[in-house]
Structure formats: structure tokens, C-alpha cells
Amino acid sequence: MPNRVGAVIWITGLSGAGKSTLGHLLWNALKEAGQPALYLDGDVLREMLGAVDAHGPEQRLALAHTYGRMCKVLAEQGAVVVCSTISMFHAVRRWNRDHIPGYVEIYLKVPLDELVRRDPKGLYAKGVNMQGLDLPFEEPEAPDLVIDNFGATAPDQAVNLILDHLKGHPS
């Protein structure tokens, strides 16, 4: 049997940018299309790894590297992994791009004032250990696709943008 290498679709952006919503919708669309898709959410992974309170810069960086390595292992087993995570570190995204065949980076770009307005988890109101507020974030240098995820772009439209991009992306 031939080896099948999967892919990793890394959806990144700040808290409240819509990563989980788009990740779930994309995962469902891929499954409906017959892809061996898996979905990993940064919040769920953080809880699973016992790192709910790990919000310092070094802890965030270590978690993001862990997510990347986990995605790599799953993709090597043939899965199409959709991973929704803040992981706003150049070092993580560079490692992913260098080590994960089929890596596709999607950046959900939303202005900070819109993120503060949305604040679905109440994190911006607390304002402690928040990337984009009191912690710096490294905006992606070369994402494969940037989606301005505010205003007129509905979640289904954003998923279609990703799917259209994936059709033209070499596996």
C-alpha cells in the first residue's frame, strides 16, 4: 500500500478572530468531501495537556510547538488536520512550514477594536496575558491565505475561500 501523507491547515489569529468557528466548519466540509479530516482546537488542546493556566510567553511558545509536532505526526499518518490556534510566533510557523509536508497557513485578520468588541470569552475585558494587548504578537509573515474576518465575510464564505485556496495548493 502506498504511503499517504496528509496535510495541516493551520488557522491562526488572535482571540475572537473566528478560528474555532471556521475550523469546525472547514473540518465538516472536508469530512463531507470524503477527506480523512481531524480537528484540533487550541483551547481543547490546552486543557487536554493540563496547561489551562499556562499563559506566559514561554509557556505559550512551548504549547504552540507541541501543537505543531502533534499535527505533523497526525498528517504523517494520512490525516488532514485542521488546527485552530493563536500560536502567534514566527518560530512556530517557520518550524511548521519547514517540517510539515502539506502545511497551509490561514491567518484570520481582525482589527483589535473589533476583537475587543466581540470578546466572546471575556478575555479582553480582563486584559491580562492577552496577545495583542499586554503581550506582543508576531503577525504571520507569509500566510498562504489572509482572510479579513470581519464585516461582510460570513463564516461559510470564509470556509469557501479556504477550500478554493486548497484546490490550488499542492499536497
Q: What are the tens digits of pLDDT across the range 111-132?
A: 888 888 877 777 666 666 666 5
Q: Where are the domains of the chain?
A: 7-167
Cα atoms in the Cβ-side hemisphere of radius 13 Å centred on 55: 12
Choose, from 15, 20, 84, 87, the residue flagged as catalytic: 87
Q: Which DSSP symbol is given to 17?
A: S
Strand partners, 21: none
* Residue 122 Rama label (left phi>0; alpha psi -120 to 50; beta): left
Distance (Å, whole) CA 78 – CA 95: 20
- Look-up of cell digits 487550541: 42
* Spatial CA neighbour of 112 closest among 94, 97, 130: 130
Higher pLDDT, 82 or 125: 82
* Spatial CA neighbour of 14 closest among 153, 119, 95: 119
Instruction: Tell me: pLDDT of 90 over 60.
Output: yes
Query: What's the CATH architecture for 7-167?
Result: 3-Layer(aba) Sandwich (3.40)
* Spatial CA neighbour of 139 closest among 43, 9, 8, 14: 14
Q: Which DSSP symbol is given to 135?
A: B
Q: Name the residue type at position 51.
A: A
Instruction: Tell me: pLDDT of 9 over 90.
Output: yes
Instruction: Tell me: pLDDT of 1 over 50.
Output: no
Q: How does the average pLDDT of the chain come out, rounded? A: 87
pLDDT at 8: 98
Q: What is the mean pLDDT of residues 71-83?
A: 97
Residues of the chain with pLDDT > 90, as a percent, come to 58
Rounded alpha-carbon distances, angstroms, from residue 37 to 58, 69, 76, 78: 30, 17, 13, 9
* Active-site residue flag, 84: no
H or E element that contains 45: helix 42-48
Q: Which DSSP symbol is given to 102?
A: T
